[in-house]
Amino acid sequence: MSAPERCMCGAEDCPRCYPGQPAKPTARHYELALEGVVETVMDCGMWPQPVKGKFKKSEFDLYDFLLEERDPSYFLEMYIGCVTGSDVSDRIQREQETIKEMLKKHFKNSDIVADLAAEYAEEV
């Protein structure tokens, strides 16, 4: 079977004229990458997820982010609720949703998400 004929469009990103190029991430790849980064940060407190037995400096630390972006009175309120045995489950849920939204805004056009989206595109 012969190779498909080049279309001669001249576009350097044309997969027909220049086969073997890296796949271009789609909007869905970016959406999945953003979701993956936010979930990892919420689960692990950092990006990338730490690997057991290997030390790798994190590219993003939730602790540092919240110190810069969040009013410390929220932290104290949660601490007092835990120490006094108050039911803070509703407050925890609201806080988690707020932080997820903050992270989505922070990472929306970041290199971290772009790199992960490119990885997803290559997995086809």
Tens-place pLDDT, residues 59-107: 999 999 999 999 888 888 888 988 998 888 888 899 999 999 999 999 9
Predicted confidence at residue 23, as pLDDT, reads 77
Output the pLDDT for position 98. 95
Q: pTM for the whole thing?
A: 0.76
* pLDDT at residue 39 tops 90: yes
* Whole-angstrom distance, CA of residue 63 vs CA of residue 47: 12
Say how many domains are in the chain: 1
Q: Which domain holds residue 87?
A: 27-122
62 inside domain: yes
Indicate whether 15 belongs to any domain.
no
Q: Mean pLDDT for the chain? A: 86
17 in a structural domain: no
AA identity, residue 60: F
**Is 101 contained in some domain?**
yes
Residue 3 lies in a domain: no
Tokens representing residue 105 in the block = 């805004």
